[in-house]
Structure 1
Amino acid sequence: MLNERIARNVGPSRIDIAYEERGDPARPSVLLVMGIAAQLVHWPLGFLDALVARDLHLVRFDNRDSGRSTHMHDAPPADLPAALRGDLSSASYTLSDMAADAVGLLDVLKIDAAHVVGASMGGAIAQTMAIEHPRRVRSLTSMMFTTGDMAVGQGHPETLKAIFGGPPARTREEVITRAVRAASIAGSPAYPTDPAEVAERAGIAFDRDHDEAAPARQGVATVASGDRTERLRALDVPALVLHGLADTLIDPSGGRATAAAIAGAELVLVEGMGHDIPRELWERIADHIAAVVRRGEERAR
């Protein structure tokens, strides 16, 4: 059951953020940050249960331009191909703005510092939070993403073409069909997710919101934010970098580069895991996150 709320006038941009809390607020707070075209509902419920069972307080939310948070409908059209060629003129915001949104949500919830867990583009937002708001990040977990260095972490051409090629999905049925297809291509080959689960989650997300222009705005924001490698080297925070060795959407070289850039980071590479969080790995991943949370809590004492 989703106990969703809307925080108003959040952060410097004064936007609305949809969020949900789970677990005991007296426990260490974990902020869960999702990726491009994903919503808070894309965190698997069983994975959330595994984290709560480890005495963690969870906050999951919709980034700007996703779900029921504010959408930048008045922004100029985002040109992702141009951005990848170096023309960043269509960027209407950056990862710094998205990180500031997340910090603003912590302000609303009166959370001084959180353990930040980011998946896919959410990993880049989490990294940016740690870089630009270090006092608000007690530990950092970056899952299945990269540093922004275009030499690492690039998607395999055949995967990118298969997932993003063709006309945009507009109807509920088209969106669900594309989500099931994407999961079969970019998901974990050793731990395939039931297509019915993927379809159900995609339908829930569609019913909450569908903005076909928003993923390009988020994508351009990610590209426009550039390479974080040198700034990651300056971090002094307990960090976990987790990446599937079968990830063809964000190549594992991105995870390796992220861990190499952060002093003392733990690198966990998982055989057979792709660009998702499969049921069979929920307990294992939750254990790793709980361990880095403990390290962050011990340091804060």
Structure 2
Amino acid sequence: MTVQMTHNGEVQIAYETFGPPAGEPLLLIMGLDFQMVYWPDGFCQALAERGFHVARFDNRDAGLSTHFSSPKQENPFRVLFRGSARPVYTGSDMVDDGLAVMDALGWDNAHLCGASMGSGLALAAAVLHPQRVRTVTTFAGGPLGKINVLRYVQFGVFPRFARIKHPDTDEGAIRTLVDMIRLLSSPNHPFDEQWARSAAEISHARSPRDPGTTQRQTAAGHNLGDVARRLGEITAPTLIINGADDPLIRPSAGTALARRIPGARAVVYPRVGHLLPEHAWTTMADAVAAQAGG
């Protein structure tokens, strides 16, 4: 795949595509602090084989897209729980970045599929720009709004993240990413260390992880205006997928979210954590295709 660039104002957004340009347009939106390469190539190819023209992109402040700096350093977990950071950009800005990718591809509208924080951005797009959204599929997400989200966070995973310690070297940074992927994966299915290592190496080579990104993107996610209260306005068919073994978000978050969106369906995948493992690619690709065809 060839990385291409587009712009949302002065912000440069990196993206890649899979599948035939004449296919059904499908935009993949990644989650907090992760690059587009965490949408596995094999999953993107599975979607392309089902007739989609797939685009994945680096959110601002991640990967090859424009990076930002914070006015002061803050503990990212304090930001998550208290929202204490002043936003450098907003969630609406991040939504517009995805629309800029669609514009670059000549898509008037598209199917959206978001993971984790990306699920919130996909839903926000369906509220703020309904004419641009054909369908929405969310993965590993939950109700929007800081208070609503915290009800479904599994707090026990955060001390485990804090215990990840490796030397301040390239290899140490890669091992840290692999350990983070391991923690976010299902304990009830063999861990794909080969894929995790490959994704971590590619991610680190493209742009080393900046903990400040966690702070800034979390603050942006808390600044989506009244979108959380407007989910009932969504008219795009919506499918909500959560993993039964998600160590970060309780699977019941999907059902709670579905209650807020007219006609939305919630499903739970067994042996799936907070990231999409290979054994679920076919099932989810089929679900996205069925959603688009419905």
Residue range with higher mean Cα deviation, 165-174 or 214-223:
165-174
**AA partner of residue 258 (structure 1):** L
**AA partner of residue 50 (structure 1):** A
Distance 2:163 2:221 in 1: 20
Q: Structure 1: where are the runs of 5+ without partners?
A: 296-301
Distance 2:287 2:185 in 1: 20
Change (3 A) 1:111 1:178: same
Q: Does the aligned pair in 2 maintain the 1:64–1:71 contact within 8 Å? A: yes
Partner of residue 137 from structure 2, selected from 135, 141, 150? 141
Q: Does the aligned pair in 2 maintain the 1:83–1:90 contact within 8 Å? A: no
Q: Does the aligned pair in 2 maintain the 1:242–1:268 contact within 8 Å? A: yes
Q: Does 1:237 align with 2:236?
A: yes
Q: Does 1:184 align with 2:182?
A: yes
Distance 2:239 2:72 in 1: 35
Q: Please report how far the alpha carbon of residue 254 of structure 1 lies from its aligned counterpart in structure 2 after TM superposition.
A: 2.1
Q: Please report how far the alpha carbon of residue 171 of structure 1 lies from its aligned counterpart in structure 2 after TM superposition.
A: 3.0
Deviations 1:157-184 (A, max 9, x none): 2212112456698532222222222232
Distance 1:209 1:220 in 2: 21
Any idea what SS the aligned residue of 1:256 has? helix
Distance 2:73 2:107 in 1: 33
Deviations 1:194-222 (A, max 9, x none): 21220111010000012412222112212
Specify the alignment match of 1:298 in structure 2: none
**AA partner of residue 86 (structure 2):** S
When normalised by structure 2's length, the TM-score is: 0.91
Any idea what SS the aligned residue of 1:18 has? strand
Q: Does 1:16 align with 2:15?
A: no
Q: Structure 2: where are the runs of 5+ without partners?
A: none
**AA partner of residue 292 (structure 1):** Q
Partner of residue 77 from structure 1, selected from 53, 61, 72? 72
Specify the alignment match of 1:129 in structure 2: 125
Q: Please report how far the alpha carbon of residue 192 of structure 1 lies from its aligned counterpart in structure 2 after TM superposition.
A: 2.9
Specify the alignment match of 2:153 in structure 1: 155
Distance 2:68 2:173 in 1: 21
- Write the mapping of 1:280-291 to structure 2, written as runs, cut at 5 A: 280-291=279-290
Distance 1:168 1:17 in 2: 30
Q: Does the aligned pair in 2 maintain the 1:83–1:223 contact within 8 Å? A: no
Distance 2:120 2:166 in 1: 25
Specify the alignment match of 2:271 in structure 1: 272
Change (3 A) 1:181 1:226: farther
Any idea what SS the aligned residue of 1:116 has? strand
Q: Does the aligned pair in 2 maintain the 1:121–1:222 contact within 8 Å? A: yes
**AA partner of residue 155 (structure 2):** P
Aligned length: 290
Q: Does the aligned pair in 1 maintain the 2:142–2:254 contact within 8 Å? A: yes
Any idea what SS the aligned residue of 2:63 has? coil
Report % sequence identity: 34
Q: Please report how far the alpha carbon of residue 272 of structure 1 lies from its aligned counterpart in structure 2 after TM superposition.
A: 1.9
Partner of residue 57 from structure 2, selected from 52, 58, 61? 61
